[in-house]
Amino acid sequence: MNAPLTLDARQRAMLAEMGVRVWQPKPPAPPPETARTAAVNAPEKIASFQDSTWDKTQKHSKNLPPDSTPQAAPPAAGPRPQDVALMDWPALQAAVAGCQACGLCAGRTHTVFGVGSRQAEWMVVGEAPGEQEDRQGQPFVGQAGKLLDRMLAAIGLTRADDADPAKKPAGVYIANVLKCRPPGNRNPQPEEIARCEPYLRRQVALLRPKIILALGRFAVQTLLQTTEPIGRLRGRVHLYEDVPVIVSYHPAYLLRALPEKAKAWEDLCLALATRENIEGV
Ligand code: SF4
């Protein structure tokens, strides 16, 4: 089991910067049997969530509508989803780098495959590259990326690719639903998401994270195959390919909506409590 969260002075200062109230966990309770009880037993900040349940009705792999599955959108010039599903990390990264399965390949400077430790137990899934990400080939850079890094640091995580999963800060792997930038940062289109999703699905299969933090509407709705807004999905543990998923707001949104940072901190606390209570599940 991971060590309980403790915040040092630097982390407290970072959270103060984020404008959130610092919450400290109680001493660890005996591990409950499932993550369902994890949410119930979490400290009062988390226990105050309404309807804190495993939402298996959102389970992605069982509820894909036929017209949105990758198989229903065969690639125009990219590997078949069934071939992607067999790739190792180098093959997958090479496939993304050369992918022309949707029109976004025409305007990209770089594909944005993912960053972080491939031994990480935590995975962050965002939406799509923006201008800076497209230039640098890295997810979550610029001001939103800095905020994400501060949020992750506050719970003892780092995107460093050589992070030791047994030490603090522990590693986190970060990837987007789309690997290429939509022009003008427009919203991703359903067909683009459908064509790109096999890559993300394979990243999850290779990484086998213990928990996924989904940030932003398109990431959340793609993973959970729902059209519900984030506000209605927060505070519950969902599943993607049997991996617990906690949903929260995109850091770029948090930069524009400062009061929502407190909610984002609550989401991180729920993720921590869930991760600590699913050990061995
Ligand atoms: S967004 Fe995804 S599917 Fe489209 S070209 Fe880029 S890698 Fe391929």
Q: Please name the residues in contact with 77: beta carbons below 8 A apart, sequence gap of 6 or more.
A: 99, 100, 101
Specify the residue with its C-alpha closest to ligand 1, atom 6. Answer: 180
> What's the whole-number average pLDDT of the chain?
80
Q: How many Å lie between the centroid of ligand 1 and the Cα of residue 180?
A: 6
Ligand 1 nearest atom to the CA of residue 105, by list position: 5
DSSP states of 208-233: --SEEEEESHHHHHHHHT----HHHH
pLDDT (tens digit per residue) in 227-245 = 999 999 999 999 999 999 9
The whole-number pLDDT of residue 185 equals 86
Of 12-21, 153-162, 203-212, the range with the lowest mean pLDDT is 12-21
Residue 25 has pLDDT above 70, yes or no: no
DSSP states of 240-254: ETTEEEEEE--HHHH
Cβ proximity of 210 and 157 under 8 Å? no
The whole-number pLDDT of residue 10 equals 53
Nearest-angstrom CA–CA distance, 152 and 180: 24
Nearest-angstrom CA–CA distance, 186 and 51: 33
Phi, psi of 197, deg, nearest 5: -60, -35
Residue 72 has pLDDT above 70, yes or no: no
Of 3-17, 36-50, 106-120, 227-241, the range with the lowest mean pLDDT is 36-50
Q: How many Å lie between the centroid of ligand 1 and the Cα of residue 44?
A: 43
* Nearest-10 crossing angle of helices 261-277, 9-18: 140
| Per-residue tokens: 247 | 């949903």
Closest Cα to residue 89, out of 206, 210, 208, 196?
Answer: 206
- Residue with the larger pLDDT of the pair 2 and 155: 155
The whole-number pLDDT of residue 51 equals 31
Nearest-angstrom CA–CA distance, 242 and 161: 25
Write out residues with Cβ below 6 Å of ligand 1: 78, 96, 99-102, 104-105, 111, 178-180, 192, 195-196
Q: How many Å lie between the centroid of ligand 1 and the Cα of residue 215?
A: 20
Q: Tell me the C-alpha to C-alpha distance, in Å, between residue 40 and each of 28, 70, 150, 265.
A: 14, 36, 27, 18
Report the run of H or E that residue 94 belongs to, with start and end. Answer: helix 89-97
pTM above 0.85, yes or no: no
Nearest-angstrom CA–CA distance, 16 and 14: 5
| Per-residue tokens: 49 | 């969530």
Ligand 1 nearest atom to the CA of residue 128, by list position: 1
Q: Which CATH class is domain 55-277?
A: alpha beta
Q: How many Å lie between the centroid of ligand 1 and the Cα of residue 253?
A: 24
Most ligand 1 atoms within 8 A of CB, residue of 112, 178, 201 to mutate:
178
Ligand 1 nearest atom to the CA of residue 108, by list position: 6
At 277, is the pLDDT very low, low, confident or very high (cuts 50, 70, 90)?
confident
- What is the average pLDDT across 149-177? 91
- What is the average pLDDT across 108-128? 97
Residue 73 has pLDDT above 70, yes or no: no
Domain boundaries, the chain: 55-277
Place of tokens 């109230």: 21
Q: How many Å lie between the centroid of ligand 1 and the Cα of residue 178?
A: 6
Cβ proximity of 15 and 265 under 8 Å? yes
**pLDDT above 90 covers what percent of the chain?**
65
Cβ proximity of 274 and 247 under 8 Å? no
